[in-house]
Chains A and B, each alone.
Chain A
Amino acid sequence: MPTALNEQALARYRNDFLREVEERVDEGGWVKMCMQCGVCAGSCPFGPHWEHSPQKIFMMIRAGKREEVLASDSMWMCTSCYNCVVRCPRKLPITTIMHGLATYAHRLGLAPKRQPTRDFSVIFWENFTRNGRANEIRLMLRLWFRDGFGAGIRKALAMKEVGLGMLRAKRMSPFEIFGGHGVKDVKGFQAMIRKAQEIEDRKRGFSK
């Protein structure tokens, strides 16, 4: 009997992971169209900071490196500058694929822990879906204090001037800390989000 790990090895180059990405990742069907020119890798402003370039991730997907790809933090670094997309000679929607892969990894629980972009996304999503509006104060507090109380205070003090500026300019209300205001029909909004999630889940094969 092969172990689970061996099965994983055998599945390599069976294109199973490629198919999985095609079916379950936003714009994943484009991965096969990459011709490994590397222009995306060279165009990315975050290039020096990540481990795997988009083109390399696409190759790893074709090579069946499921764990490595989904655990990679590279796609979390995408800032949606679209440099790669406008230069890609095959017109791959690379930005969308990167975000799609990140989302997919997150849904599977395989995304790297404590990845700042991921944490921010989670916090933002929870914050925003609660009332249908982003609550800046609560968002910032959660983000700053995610690394502990001391770190939170330090970050808050560092951002003090910006915060006071926003208060003076009435861009932010201190009372929002108590829950803040939402859209008119919060319940309707939340139902809409739920429905959208259901559709998306069904499409990506996550439905129960």
Chain B
Amino acid sequence: MATAVATNQTILVVGGGVSGMTAALEAAECGKEVVLVESSATLGGRTASLYRYFPKLCHPVCGLEINLRRLRGNRSVRVLTLAEVTAVSGTRGDFTVTVKRSPRYVNRNCTACGACAQAVSAEIPNPWNYGLDRLKAAYLPHAMAYPQRYVLDPSIIGTPDAEKARAACKYDAIDLGMQAETLELKVGAIVWATGWRPYDAAKIQPYGYGRFPNVITSVEFERLADPHGPSGGKILRPSDGKLAKNVAFVQCAGSRDENHLRHCSRICCMASLKQTQYVREAFGEGAQSTVYYIDIRAIDRFEDFYARVQRDPTVKFVKSKVARIAEDQATRDPILHGVDTEGYRRYASRHDLVVLAIGMEPSVRGADIPAEVVADSSGFIDAAADGAAVFGAGCATNALDVNRSVQNATAAALRAIQVVNRAARAES
């Protein structure tokens, strides 16, 4: 078992999304030593796969660029990617943490020149684009990936493709003998920021996700609208690649529903309002968005954005939880069935594309965290429960938007600093 240099003055941050990066950077910029552990091959997390943020419609990767520059300039943060925390023992101020690292098969020599990807022929579904397209099995996760280093997909290890990749690399950067390893770290405080994942839309049976190609989720729609995405930013519907100008947004897909997620996922109303503007941006007056909702939860100054979208003649609102989605088998158009509850009007509305405003659930439910935590009925953990081993940050603690995740992660950084400072004072 390998050991890494860390002490009870070190802060461990688990999760390299916007919350984890924030907690790590904020603590490091206070002069603390931080180890940042991320399970995927790159930092950035889920926000890096969003096209724009509400309500400003600015680009998440812009903030990511700043955070990555902060990270590159700060030697106090050590980043471990493809790494997962498997065990935590000890107490606040004195933890021993076991971290399992999966092999990347690419070492630091990698210059991200891309020769290995050209050499390899196998392709895998692109996780970055939620499998909407495919990419070579030797790949850079995305253009903003950090570390900026290629990854070999484990599926090609032992195949001729792996050899081809190794042979193509002039810099000796591909190491096919790389093995999984286990590290043991001694740390003083832990911030748990493992974020969220979209609820499995296929479980919402009446909506036909997985059966009807033109029913997609909101996170997939982000990729469609993004110039870095599978369609180069064109809003094309999956069944036939036609432009999707008439788009339905189905709110509470999984959220506020005792059959699925009990909680309200908070962000989906604003996310759909934002996405109506993607349609508008793509097709101008020819766009048609319809938002099917129960309550529009546009809190505080987000109300301005809601008011702005309400003034947009290409956007309609129907107060209704959609009952079911059918498909016209000839055209593959989805048809939404339900009742507008304001005044009671039935509808059977045909759209080019349906976007399910999918709910958020914690990536790692409280019960599955290898440390003592206090979790609620949805599996979100308490950010600062009395006596719990770890501090929660971001969407591991609640369904939060980016702004509140960052706010919360900043608070978590201070809580962690309190612990290591106390440990430092005790030792001096």
Contacts and interface: CB of A to CB of B under 8 A. Distances in A.
Direct A–B contact in complex, judged by CB atoms less than 8 Å apart: yes
Interface stretch (A24-32, A47-55, A62-70, A158-166): A47-55
A87 B206 contact: yes
Contacts of B256: 35, 89
Interface string A46-89: 01100011011000000000000000000000000000001101
A171 to B, nearest CB: 37
Interface string A29-41: 0000001111111
Contact of A41 (B257, B258, B338): B338
A42 B323 contact: yes
A61 to B, nearest CB: 15
B321 interface: yes
A39 B259 contact: no
A41 B259 contact: no
- How large, as a class, is the contact surface on chain B? 20 to 34
A96 interface: no
A198 B341 CA distance: 39
B344 A41 contact: yes
Given A42-B322, A90-B258, A36 B346 contact: no
B324 A43 contact: yes
Contacts of B341: 36-38, 41, 55-56
B163 interface: no
B320 interface: yes
A91 interface: yes
B258 A91 contact: yes
Contacts of B259: 86-87, 89, 91
Contacts, number: 65
Interface string B236-269: 0000000000000000100011111000000000
Contacts of B257: 89
Contact of A37 (B321, B324, B346): B321
A40 B339 CA distance: 9
B294 A42 contact: no
A53 B339 contact: yes
B346 A89 contact: no
Contacts of B327: none
A53 B337 CA distance: 14
A41 B323 contact: yes
8 contacts: A35-B294, A37-B321, A38-B321, A39-B321, A39-B322, A41-B341, A43-B206, A55-B341
Interface of A: 35-43, 47-48, 52-53, 55-56, 86-87, 89-91
